Amino acid sequence: MLAGGVGAARLLAGLVQVLPPSEVTAVVNTGDDLIMHGLYIAPDLDTVTYTLAGANNPETGWGLVGETWQAMGSLDRYGGDTWFNLGDVDLGTHLYRTGRLASGAGLAAVTAEVAAGWGLESTLLPMTEDRVVTKVTLADDGGLGNEVDFQEYFVRLRHDVPVSSVRFDGAEASLPGPGVLEAIAGADLVVVAPSNPIVSIGPLLAVPGIADAIRARRDDTVAVSPIIAGAALKGPADRLMRELGHEVSVGGVARMYRDITSCLIIDSVDTDLAGAVEAEGMACVITDTVMSSPEVATDLARTVLKQTRE
Amino acid sequence: MLAGGVGAARLLAGLVQVLPPSEVTAVVNTGDDLIMHGLYIAPDLDTVTYTLAGANNPETGWGLVGETWQAMGSLDRYGGDTWFNLGDVDLGTHLYRTGRLASGAGLAAVTAEVAAGWGLESTLLPMTEDRVVTKVTLADDGGLGNEVDFQEYFVRLRHDVPVSSVRFDGAEASLPGPGVLEAIAGADLVVVAPSNPIVSIGPLLAVPGIADAIRARRDDTVAVSPIIAGAALKGPADRLMRELGHEVSVGGVARMYRDITSCLIIDSVDTDLAGAVEAEGMACVITDTVMSSPEVATDLARTVLKQTRE
């Protein structure tokens, strides 16, 4: 699975209910990663890890259940930056990752160690071990400068400002992470998660080699639409698509993915738009895609797996 | 006050009971500072800050009262290094300091900001803003190599191994921190805290300019002996002194400090050794120096201040 954060994590949690977890590999976006207070923070990798471990906070969609916030309270005492909330348990992950990276370990190895710490049997691969940073250009300078890092846009500005462009700094010179191309080439089925096409899947496709690898598997690649009834369930996918000139519909999603996938799974509320998907040269599968419970996620995972060619 | 950690912090807490806190300046050892998990940690600065704020943990002598350990628990899940215990609230301090240093602030400015965060009116000055690292050579290679950083010796090995030498890496090229020389030159009284002479006061004296500045104020400098009845109350001062060829007694302390101080305050249990102190050319003052309660610390602070010349 090509994975961003919350939506991908929920579908992965469904997949490991219907497949042996060891047969599931996620290639995860690292364009959102940030260095803050000296720590290397990988939000999408952590969301996927914590969710597969059953340790995620289902209310917030990010972070850990039973989390505490002592360090943030202390940081606040000094007037430090607290807009990116870091829970105490979560901090342990960032401390470990940062320490390991500083000692020369690669992000892929550290990701595997963190996953093993939670007892995960699935494989989580960072899309790259190079630094690729999603940069968002704001239509109006919001006081932070015209171009901001993704988390400043997403968290600090609550993605509540117009965007004029998005780029993936460092992507051109980056290499796919260890195992990424092999995982795509060897998969029975490649799944594009219902993640934000622009800022979650976009960075993966910007790493040279990954889009080509998926294109070569187009007949075995299925995407789940993150757009339902013309809107995103969560986050700024709809707004970003509109602002960057895409049609905010399952047809618009099909147009973005038609080169890399042969099938789009859409929600039943969009049944009457199946023709628009097929008009892009893709098969269209209709099912419930709103993963409001683990059961729906498991059912969606089953539908996804049914697209595997014999 | 030339200050290390716990002993200095207790005497400072006594001093601010008998003086306006704003009239107290501590020049604090940074030779123990370490970078761990990507964070810059300054144990002596933090011990002094937390103690003056009344927020220190009186049982451990380090860290904060009411501290929690969630991040360490998480780090332990991954098999990370947990020998240097970092509480969650304490972590907020390290996050703040590390972030500010990364953004280009100096350690002196950050130290002042942290002190202000706790409402301190006293001035805390790092001995230097340059990186000076106390290195301990072990008599026997304990599996970590012959030379280790101070905290590895002090915490990881529980200072329970023989030492053959100590050096202050980077000291030769270091500059005194902003305000340090001025504080020494302008003080009514310079106090050498009852800290470890070798690894707490030693680094301060190794920063070029500081020892000279104190020597110029020798008549106005008083030390409190960290050795009582031939032993250190806490930590490895006695053991280190012995292993590095010093006599473990108030006379031995007097010999180490005779060039920079004109007076040594010793505990009443060492009354019969006053002559040995005076033989080094120093005045000897006898009082209770075991700061087992804030009251004893305040009384000791009063005795220290009495040494101020009119």
Identify residues of A whose CB sits under 8 angstroms from chain B CBs: 36-40, 68, 70-81, 86-93, 95-96, 98-102, 113-114, 117-118
CB-based contact B89 A73, cutoff 8 Å = yes
Is the pLDDT confidence value at B270 over 80?
A: yes
Give B234's pLDDT tier (boundaries 50, 70, 90).
confident
Q: Is the pLDDT assigned to residue A101 strictly greater than 90?
A: yes
pLDDT value of position A310: 77
* Cβ-contact A140, A162 below 8 angstroms: yes
Closest chain B residue to the Cα of A87, Cα to Cα = B71
pLDDT of residue B63: 85
For A200-220, the pLDDT digits (tens) are: 999 999 999 999 999 999 999
Q: What is the DSSP letter of B62?
A: S
Tens digit of pLDDT for each residue in B141-153? 666 678 999 999 9
Residue B291: what residue type?
Answer: M
Residue A57: pLDDT band (50, 70, 90) is confident
Task: Take residue A138 and report the two structure tokens written for it.
Answer: 């704001």
pTM for this model (two decimals): 0.93
CB B105 within 8 A of CB B129: no
Contacts of B93 in chain A (CB under 8 A): 74, 78
Task: Give the integer Cα–Cα distance in Å for B111 and B200.
Answer: 18
SS3 call for B64: strand
Q: What are the sequence ranges of the domains in chain A?
A: 1-310
Query: What average pLDDT does the segment B157-162 reach?
Result: 90
Token pair 């300078």: residue: A141
Average the pLDDT over B190-213 and give the result. Answer: 98
If you write DSSP's letter for every residue of B188-249 in order, what string do you get? S-EEE-SS-IIIIIHHHHHSTTHHHHHHTTGGGEEEE-SEETTEESSTTHHHHHHHTT--SS
Predicted confidence (pLDDT) at residue A244 exceeds the cutoff of 90: yes
Q: How many CA atoms lie within 13 A of A293 on its CB side?
A: 4
Selected for mutation to probe chain B from A39, A41, A68, A74 (highest B CB count within 10 Å) is A74
Q: Which two tokens stand for residue B152?
A: 């590895």
pLDDT bin (cut points 50, 70, 90) of residue B62 is confident
In angstroms, the Cα distances linking A91 to A221, A298, B4, B42, B295 are: 36, 30, 29, 19, 39
Q: In whole angstroms, what is the distance from residue B223 CA to residue A40 CA?
A: 44
Give residue-wise pLDDT tens across range A166-192: 999 999 999 999 999 999 999 999 999
Closest CA to B76 of A43, A98, A119, A95: A95
Query: What is residue A61's predicted lDDT score, i.e. its pLDDT?
Result: 72
Q: What is the pLDDT of residue B144?
A: 66
B95, A80: Cβ pair inside 8 Å? yes
Q: In which band, very low, low, confident or very high, does the pLDDT at A140 lie, cut at 50, 70 and 90? A: confident
Q: How many Cβ pairs within 8 Å bridge chains A and B?
A: 131
Looking at residue B211, what is its pLDDT? 98
pLDDT value at residue A144: 65
Interface touch A36/B114, C-beta < 8 Å: no
pLDDT in tens, A145-168: 789 999 999 988 889 899 999 999
pLDDT in tens, B103-148: 999 999 999 999 999 999 999 999 999 999 999 999 886 666 789 9
Q: Is the pLDDT of residue B46 over 70?
A: yes
Mean pLDDT rounded to a whole number for chain A: 95
Average pLDDT over residues B158-184: 96
The residue among A33, A65, A75 with the most chain B CBs within 10 A of its CB, best to mutate, is: A75
Annotate chain A with DSSP letters as a single string: -EE-SHHHHHHHHHHHHHS-GGG-EEEE--TT-EEETTEEE-HHHHHHHHHHTT-B-TTTSSSBTT---HHHHHHHHTT---SS---HHHHHHHHHHHHHHHTT--HHHHHHHHHHHTT--SEEEESBSS--EEEEEESS--SS-SEEEHHIIIIISTT-S-EEEEEEET-TT--BPTTHHHHHHH-S-EEE-SS-TTTTHHHHHHSTTHHHHHHTTGGGEEEE-SEETTEESSTTHHHHHHHTT--SSHHHHHHHHTTT-SEEEEEGGGGGGHHHHHTTT-EEEEE-----SHHHHHHHHHHHHTTS--
- pLDDT, tens digit (0-9, with 9 covering 90-100), for A1-18: 999 999 999 999 999 999
**Which of chain A's residues have a Cβ under 8 Å away from the Cβ of B73?**
89, 92
Give residue ranges of B with CB < 8 Å to any A CB: 36-40, 68, 70-81, 86-93, 95-96, 98-102, 113-114, 117-118
pLDDT higher than 80, residue A62 = no
CA distance A167 to chain B (A): 24
SS (H, E, C) A209-272: CHHHHHHCCHHHEEEECCEECCEECCCCHHHHHHHCCCCCCHHHHHHHHCCCCCEEEEEHHHHH
Q: What's the pLDDT band for A63 if we cut at 50, 70, 90? A: confident
**What class is the B1-310 domain?**
alpha beta
Q: How many CB atoms lie within 10 A of CB B272?
A: 7
Rounded average pLDDT over A93-101:
98
Q: What is the pLDDT of residue B59?
A: 78
Choosing among A72, A91, A107, which should be mutated to test the B contact, i.e. which has the most B CBs within 10 A? A91
Q: Which of A37, A73, A117 is closest, CB to CB, to B99?
A: A37
- Per-residue pLDDT band for B61 (boundaries 50, 70, 90) equals confident
Work out the pLDDT band at A198, boundaries 50, 70, 90: very high
- Would you say A111 and A126 are in contact if contact means Cβ atoms under 8 Å apart? yes
Residue A144 to residue A211: CA distance in whole angstroms = 32
Q: Do B261 and B222 contact (CB within 8 A), yes or no?
A: yes
* The residue to which tokens 């001093």 are assigned: B15
Report the pLDDT value the prediction gives residue B143, as an integer from 0 to 100.
63
